Amino acid sequence: MARPKKHAILVIHGPNLGLLGQREPEVYGRVTLPEINDELRSLAKEHKVKVEIVQSNHEGEIVDTIGKSKDTFDAILINPAAYTHTSVAIRDALLACGLPCVEVHLSNIYAREQFRHNSLIAPVAKGQISGFGKQSYALGLLAIINLLDSARK
Ligand code: DQA
């Protein structure tokens, strides 16, 4: 029997996440983005899925990346960072591409300032994981793999 095609997952890190490790360590911890990415790549390898990882500080660039994702990827894992709370454009791009998406946050956005309590992305995502530090990404990736595996059955 032919082996099923590997799931391909696009991981998007939004603005300022490239500064993890130095940025507000009391909120985000000391973990760096390359460390998070290494963990995602090894988890992906373990589960036999492909991941492509991008980071951008620019809303339009994130919109373009999502817009081109439909034919190449099966799902999106996104930490939209500050754009979570402001970006109708990223929300619309996710809706337009139609891929299942999981939203993640290192910090618990509901335990922080009022303006972070609203996510424009959450209503168009399959779900949201918030508050588990770097583990939020691993949990998000596992949630996507689960979703894709269940859709295949
Ligand atoms: C964040 C939470 C956002 O409110 C904030 O703007 C970020 C990071 C998180 O991962 O906890 O940049 O998305």
Q: How far is CA 73 from CA 11, 62, 124, in A?
A: 10, 15, 17
- The H or E element that residue 89 is part of is helix 88-97
Measured in Å, residue 136 CA sits from the centre of ligand 1 at 12
Is 28 considered catalytic here? yes
- Kindly state if the Cβ of 82 falls inside 6 Å of ligand 1: yes
- The pLDDT of residue 2 is 73
Looking up residue 58, the CATH number of its domain turns out to be 3.40.50.9100
Residue 87 lies in a domain: yes
Instruction: Please write the tens of the pLDDT for every residue from 89-116.
Output: 999 999 999 999 999 999 999 999 999 9
- The answer to whether the predicted template modeling score (pTM) of the entire model surpasses 0.85 is yes
Residue 85 lies in a domain: yes
Number of structural domains (the chain) is: 1
Mutate to test the pocket of ligand 1, among 11, 16, 77, 79 (most ligand atoms within 8 A of CB): 79
Measured in Å, residue 5 CA sits from the centre of ligand 1 at 33
Residue 57 lies in a domain: yes
Residue 1 lies in a domain: no
Measured in Å, residue 129 CA sits from the centre of ligand 1 at 12
- Kindly state if the Cβ of 32 falls inside 6 Å of ligand 1: no
The residue range of the domain holding 107 is 8-152
Q: Smallest Cα–Cα separation from 29: which of 140, 128, 117, 131?
A: 131
Rounded to whole angstroms, the Cα distance separating 153 from 22 reads 43
Strands 127-130 and 101-105: parallel
Instruction: Please write the tens of the pLDDT for every residue from 111-136.
Output: 999 999 999 999 999 999 999 999 99
Residue 128 lies in a domain: yes
Instruction: Please write the tens of the pLDDT for every residue from 68-94.
Output: 999 999 999 999 999 999 999 999 999
In this prediction, residue 31 has a pLDDT band, given cuts at 50, 70 and 90, of very high
3-state helix, strand, coil in the chain (%, to 5): 45, 15, 35
Residue 141 lies in a domain: yes
